[in-house]
Amino acid sequence: MLKSFFNWRVLLNLILAAGVFVGLVYLTFRWLEIHTHHGDELQVPNVVNKSVHDAVKILDDSGLEYEVDSFKYDPRYRPFQVLQIYPAPGSRVKNGRSVTLKVNPRSWAPVSVPDVINKYSGLGFQRLDQVGLKVGDTIYEPSIQKDAILRILFKGSTIKPGTKIPRFSIIDVVIGSGPMRNIGIPNVVGLTVKEAKAVIARNLFEIGVIDYEDGGRDDNDIVYYQDPASGDIRDQGMQIDLWASKKTPAELMDKINELNSTYRMKVDTTLPPVRYEEVSSFQDTAPIETAPVADPPRRETPKNDATKPKTSTPANDKPKAKKVIV
């Protein structure tokens, strides 16, 4: 068997197989060198601090691919300025290699406006500050929701919660200052329910109960009665009840008179006016009779008699001095 292994034919086949294997390996690596541009390298140009448009043009001319990544906004640099490049400038990469550009965006990343509508202003301001929004003007508007946030304005326009605006944007906030007092009730009799609702809302009142005569809910029905009556004085936010029908108010006079007897107080002006007198808070007691008190006797003061001679003290009546023995 060993003799047959050294047969020249077997050796020739082994040599041919080895040659084919070496050839395949060589061709494979050669193909890889051509396909991957082995040994064909390019230098990464320095495009830092250039605008992204200029940087892209330079990379295209150099035969390099690129990817643009919006870096964190930094107000110290220009918008769309290249802040970094990877690989670093001066590095050698293969032709067609993709490099990454870190670019300063136009402004801060957008954030969603939080839902602070109808919330207490103190808590609302904290929530706005947490997401990076700055409150500019605080506008107070009459509302029954005192100290509550009614609307949010951005560049003069009302925005809804969830709207995305740049971070650190300045917004204006409308806050309720409390209800207005002593507002005249508007007259909505003769209007459709739809028109009456608009008038009532425009005058800062609320819609109360709406009684439809036919039981339907057609806003095209005509209002034939309202309570409170037009001209009455109420505070903002008070409700106005409506009675509506497809008939005209002239056709519903009996119904109107019935409602007047219920909701309108009649004042009898034929009665004399009532006079009110002030009554003291305590009752005066009868005076107590007391016996007359005699006047005390007067003491007469003696008068100096000018005619009475004055007595003089004799000279020899002086007090004697006392002797002191030491």
pLDDT digits (tens, 9 = 90+) for 27-49: 776 666 665 555 567 888 899 99
Topology adopted by domain 183-263: Trypsin Inhibitor V; Chain A (3.30.10)
Q: Could you tell me if 119 and 148 are in contact, meaning their C-beta atoms sit under 8 angstroms apart?
A: yes
The highest-level CATH class for domain 41-104 is: alpha beta
- The candidate with the shortest Cα–Cα distance to 141, out of 152, 130, 157, is 152
Quick check: do 41-104 and 110-176 share a fold?
yes
Task: Please tell me the distance from the alpha carbon of residue 125 to that of residue 138, in angstroms, as a whole number.
Answer: 11
Phi and psi at 70, nearest 5°, equal -75, 110
The residues, ordered by sequence, that sit 6+ positions from 244 with a Cβ below 8 Å of its Cβ are 193, 210, 211, 212, 213, 221, 222, 223, 224
- Please report which residue ranges of the chain form alpha helices under DSSP H: 2-5, 8-35, 52-62, 121-130, 193-202, 253-263
**pTM surpassing 0.85?**
no
The residues, ordered by sequence, that sit 6+ positions from 43 with a Cβ below 8 Å of its Cβ are 62, 90, 91, 92
Domain ranges of the chain: 41-104, 110-176, 183-263
Q: Print pLDDT tens along the chain (326 aa).
A: 555 555 667 777 778 888 888 888 777 766 666 655 555 678 888 999 999 899 989 888 888 888 888 767 788 888 889 999 988 888 888 777 788 999 988 877 789 999 999 999 999 999 999 998 999 999 998 888 899 999 999 999 999 999 999 888 999 999 999 888 889 999 999 999 999 999 999 998 999 999 998 888 899 999 999 999 999 999 888 999 999 999 888 889 999 999 999 888 655 555 566 565 665 555 555 555 555 555 555 555 555 544 444 444 444 444 544 444 44
Q: Which DSSP state fits 106? A: S
Q: Could you tell me if 111 and 132 are in contact, meaning their C-beta atoms sit under 8 angstroms apart?
A: yes
294 residue type, one letter: A
CATH for the stretch 110-176 = 3.30.10.20
